[in-house]
Every structure is written in C-alpha cells, then in structure tokens.
C-alpha cells in the first residue's frame, strides 16, 4: 500500500505538478532566478554577521537551508539517476534545479512575509503559517504541520541515523549502536540549544562538508581536464536521446533527472520555507533570493560534483548494477586511491548530521504552529528525537522510510496547492522587491503599508525590526 501510494504521488502527480509550478513561476516572474542571480552572491558580504539575541542572520538561514537540502541525494541519488537514466539525467537535473530556484523564491518569500514574531525576538513561519494567514484556512495548516512533523522530525531523522551507522560500520567497522549513541549525544547538544545553536552548528558543519566535497571534485576534474568537454557533450547528447545505447533513452533520462533533482533540492516540498522565515531581513524578497541560491548550491554545484566524479572515472559502465553511494565510493577511489571510499563515508556522515539538525528544527516549527508557547512539548519532542536516533541505528527502517516518502508526497501536494492560490501575493512581493531594490540596491526594505490588506504580524514588519535587519 505504501509503495502504491508513493508511486502514485511521485510518478503521476508530483513529477508533473512540480515541473509545471516551476515553469509557471519562472515565466510569470520574468525568470526571477536569472534576474537576481548576481545578487545571490551578496549574501557572502554578511557571512560572519550574527544577529543579536536569538535572531538569525540571512546567511545563517541560508546555511541551515543548505544543511537540509544537501544530503544523501547529492552522493547516492545522483549515482542512482546516472545508473537508471544514463548521463543525460544530469542535464535534466540541472534544468529542474534552475526551475526549482523560482519555486523556492516564491515559497520562501511568502514564508518571510507571513512570519510571526516570538517573545524573545526570534521569528517562526513556513507553509502552515502562510496557509493560515494568506488563505485564512487553519485546517490545511494543521494538516501540513502534522505531515511535516512525522516526515522530517521522526521518519527522516530515523533513516539518517540508520544510514550513517550502517555506512560507518561498513567503512570503519564501528558497531552501529556506538555510532547511534554518538550521533544522539551530539544531536541532543545541538537541538536542545534552540534554533540559535542549531544555526551556529550548521554554520560550521555545512561549509566544511560542502567545501571539502567541492574541493575533491575540483581535484578530480583537474586530473581529467582534457576529458571534461567530452563528458559535457555526452551529458547533452544523452539528454536528448542521441546516445540511447548509453542511456535508457530520452524518457529514462528525463524521468530520473527530474525525479532525483526534485528529491535533492526540495524546491516546492514546503520544508525550506520553515527555515527561510526565521531570518531577520529588510524585505521578504531578499530571503527569497537567498533561498533560490541554496537550490543552486545543492543541484547545480554539489550534484554536479558527484556526476563528474562518476562520469570521469573508469568504473562507470552503462547498464551496470552498481549504483547509489557504492558507485560514488568506487568512482572516487578510482581517482584518488582507496582512501576515497572513506572520504565518501565521512562526507555522508556530515551530510546526514546536517540534515538531522535541520529535520529537528522542522519538527519544532510544526509544534510551534499549534501553540506558540509550547516549550514543554518542544522539549519532549527533542528528547524523543534523541532517543529515536539512538534506537534507529540498529533497526531495519525500510518500512519507516517508505512511510516518510509517502507523507512527504502528501506534504508537497498541500504546499503546491497553497502556492498556486497564493501566487498573486507572491508576485506582489516580487514587484515590491524590484521597486525596493531600485530605490535602495544595498538594503531593500518592505513597505508594510502596501500590504495592509493582508494578515501580517505588525511586530515582524515594524520599522524598528526592518531597521535592525539592515544595520
């Protein structure tokens, strides 16, 4: 039943709806992802800026978002796409990433617009909040929150623990229960410190893992620089069926590229907006641009790293059964020696841990939607997550993962329907952002008076709050 529901959602509903939404938002926005592409890099000017108190900077929110988007899909998912869809799947993965940047801009801008302020000066928001405030419907927001809690807070955290402990046992012989206990202890220290500590830990872990993985890919590319043009030609030709003997035909290339791209960057699934909403910025569009950049980092950079490591190696053979993380490990070992397999295992550990702290935050955000002063419930949730991570390390979680896959599909359906109905508001935010950038290119500020017809939190967009964001 789980397999049937998952296949129905991902093969016949979301595969087409996510692509259609991404294309619609791209065209209707005048391709916002390209219009503001150069602006995305401005975030690094404030890379070491920390907001006061419990507030989160725009850069920290970006890093936390990347922590969630970047995971096993960047290492194993790309390998699966190439194995089943051929090199052409990489091209379609790039295409879906570029379109997903527009979807991410709108969902994350809306999350910022409808965010709510907390007593300690921090913010909360996400799809549940913009559904309730933008569409004035509470029950879909409750449904979304429950699905988010079950999918990410419990299901994917459990699976990440299992994947890491199994990988560490196979690579280094470390007993799975030891890995589980260590993961649980470190995760507990991180999440019990609240969103501020989660962001601070992610700010260290994510750049280390991302830069390390990019550097090893650059080394591989440098070692085979003369072969790179041929690989690019192979990817493009396979994408359009000119090398069908190598791939499974253009249909397989498109299907696998789109599917793995969507799984990897999560644009439209409704997870990243929960993180986007916590940033302190002067205009919602600023964080929308930043979150579009996180999709670029995930799909266009990190997924491409894995693709080139595999396609430039001597171990990739069309039609071979080896796939997933194992193919990436063997390919990297072919380039740099046996230690490459250990490098992939360590990278997977860091990728998984970053996803776990992100998943835990999503669960907390779900609880906050039900009740703003839910400190006891949040602490109980944190304790359950820590216990679950320790327990899951020694379990077979295939059924749990299938269940989480299905609930994630339902999660995406709820979010995409909401985005379609809220597109006009999202377009207003984009137009206001364009106007604000013309007047103040360095520090665009939202004119809240232009949105008085909407149910915005006045404290979240007071002149004092926006002034703090740009100072």
Q: How many helices (H) and strands (E) does the chain have?
A: 24, 2
48 — pLDDT class (breaks 50, 70, 90) = low
Residue 389 counted as domain residue: yes
Higher pLDDT, 71 or 266: 266
Q: Given this model, what pLDDT does residue 204 score?
A: 76
Q: Which residue has the higher pLDDT, 439 or 73?
A: 439
pLDDT at 177: 87
Identify the CA nearest to 36 among candidates 91, 104, 128, 113: 104
Q: In which residue are the tokens 């007993």 written? A: 175
Residue 149 reports pLDDT greater than 50: yes
Q: What is the mean pLDDT of residues 4-10?
A: 77
Mean pLDDT of 210-215: 82
- Angstrom distance (rounded) from CA 9 to CA 405: 10
pLDDT band at 189 (very low <50, low <70, confident <90, very high): confident
- The HSE-up count of residue 180 (CA atoms within 13 Å, CB side) is 21
User: What does the alpha-carbon distance between residue 116 and residue 137 come to, in Å, rounded to a whole number?
Assistant: 16
470 found inside a domain: no
Which H/E stretch holds residue 337? none
Task: Report the distance separating Cα 356 and Cα 198, nearest Å.
Answer: 10
Q: How far apart are CA 18 and CA 88, in angstroms?
A: 20
Compute the chain's Rg from CA coordinates.
21
pLDDT, average across residues 217-230: 89
Average pLDDT score over residue span 374-391: 87
pLDDT at 245: 46
Checking if the pLDDT of 37 tops 70, the result is yes
pLDDT at 71 over 90: no
For the chain, the residue count is 471
Alpha-carbon span 153 to 290, nearest angstrom:
24
CB neighbours of residue 103 within 10 Å:
32
For the segment 258-304, what is each residue's pLDDT rounded down to a tens digit? 766 666 677 788 888 988 888 888 899 989 998 898 888 888 888 88
Structure confidence by residue, pLDDT tens digits, 90-106: 888 888 889 989 999 99
CATH of the domain at 266: 1.20.1740
The structure's pTM equals: 0.86
**Mean pLDDT score of the chain, rounded to an integer?**
81
**Is residue 365 pLDDT above 90, yes or no?**
no
Q: How many domains does the chain have?
A: 1
Confidence of residue 143 (pLDDT cuts 50, 70, 90): very high
Distance CA 464, CA 470 (A): 10
Residue 373, pLDDT > 80, answer no
The DSSP bridge partners found for residue 56 are: 279
Residue with token string 């679950």 = 388
Which pLDDT band, with edges at 50, 70 and 90, does 434 fall under? very high
How far is C-alpha 343 from the geometric centre of its chain's CA atoms?
A: 22
Higher pLDDT, 155 or 248: 155
pLDDT at 243: 62
Q: What is the dihedral of CA 117, 123, 127, 129, to 10 degrees?
A: -10
Can you give the residue range of the structural domain that contains 248?
A: 2-442
pLDDT for residue 425 is more than 60: yes
Whole-angstrom CA distances from 335 to 213, 218, 299, 318, 341 are 14, 12, 23, 19, 11
Beta bridge partners of 405: none
Q: What is the pLDDT of residue 34?
A: 92
Say if 471 falls within a structural domain. no
Q: Which residue has the higher pLDDT, 395 or 153?
A: 153
Q: Answer yes or no: is 195 within a domain.
A: yes
Tell me how crowded residue 377 is: count the other CB atoms within 10 A of its CB: 14
Q: Is residue 447 part of a domain?
A: no
Write the CA distances from 323 to 4, 134, 319, integer angstroms: 23, 43, 10
Element (H, E) at 142: helix 139-148
DSSP element (H, E) containing 397: none
Q: With H, G, I as helix, E, B as strand and everything else as coil, classify residue 94.
A: helix
Reported as a single tens digit per residue, the pLDDT across 243-260 is 654 545 566 667 667 766
Residue 298 included in any domain: yes
Cα–Cα distance, 147 to 142 (Å, whole number)? 9
Q: Is residue 411 part of a domain?
A: yes
Is 449 part of a structural domain of the chain? no
């Amino acid at each position: 039943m789980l397999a049937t529901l998952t296949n129905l959602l991902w093969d016949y509903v979301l595969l087409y709806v996510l692509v259609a939404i991404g294309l619609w938002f791209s065209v209707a926005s005048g391709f916002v992802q390209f219009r503001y592409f150069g602006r995305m890099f401005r975030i690094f000017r404030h890379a070491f800026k920390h907001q006061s108190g419990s507030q989160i900077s725009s850069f920290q929110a970006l890093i936390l978002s990347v922590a969630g988007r970047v995971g096993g899909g960047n290492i194993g998912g790309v390998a699966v796409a190439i194995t089943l869809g051929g090199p052409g799947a990489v091209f379609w993965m790039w295409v879906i990433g570029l379109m997903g940047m527009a979807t991410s801009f709108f969902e994350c801008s809306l999350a910022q617009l409808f965010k709510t302020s907390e007593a300690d000066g921090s913010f909360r928001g996400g799809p549940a909040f913009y559904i309730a405030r933008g569409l004035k419907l509470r029950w879909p927001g409750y449904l979304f929150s429950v699905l988010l809690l079950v999918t990410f807070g419990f299901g994917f955290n459990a699976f990440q623990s299992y994947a890491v402990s199994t990988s560490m046992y196979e690579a280094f012989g470390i007993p799975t229960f030891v890995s589980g206990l260590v993961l649980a202890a470190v995760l507990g220290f991180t999440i019990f410190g609240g969103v501020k500590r989660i962001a601070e830990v992610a700010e260290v872990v994510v750049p280390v893992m991302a830069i390390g993985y990019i550097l090893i890919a650059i080394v591989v590319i440098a070692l085979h620089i003369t072969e790179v043009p041929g690989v690019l030609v192979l990817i493009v030709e396979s994408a359009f069926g000119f090398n069908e003997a190598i791939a499974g035909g253009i249909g397989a290339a498109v299907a696998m590229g789109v599917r793995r791209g969507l799984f990897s960057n999560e644009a439209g699934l409704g997870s990243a907006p929960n993180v986007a909403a916590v940033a302190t910025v002067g205009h919602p569009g600023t964080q929308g641009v930043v979150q579009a950049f996180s999709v670029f980092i995930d799909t266009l950079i990190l997924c491409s790293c894995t693709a080139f490591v595999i396609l430039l190696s001597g171990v990739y053979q069309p039609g071979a059964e080896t796939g997933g993380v194992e193919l990436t490990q063997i390919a990297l070992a072919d380039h740099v020696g046996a230690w490459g397999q250990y490098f992939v295992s360590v990278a997977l550990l860091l990728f998984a841990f970053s996803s776990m702290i992100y998943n835990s935050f999503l669960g907390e955000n779900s609880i906050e939607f039900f009740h703003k002063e839910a400190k006891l419930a949040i602490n109980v949730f944190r304790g359950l997550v820590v216990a679950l991570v320790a327990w899951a390390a020694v379990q077979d979680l295939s059924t749990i993962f299938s269940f989480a896959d299905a609930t994630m599909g339902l999660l995406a359906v709820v979010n995409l329907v909401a985005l379609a109905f809220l597109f006009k508001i999202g377009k207003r935010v984009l137009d206001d952002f364009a106007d604000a950038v013309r007047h103040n290119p360095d520090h665009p500020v939202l004119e809240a008076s232009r949105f008085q017809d909407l149910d915005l939190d006045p404290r979240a967009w007071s002149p004092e709050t926006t002034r703090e964001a740009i100072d």
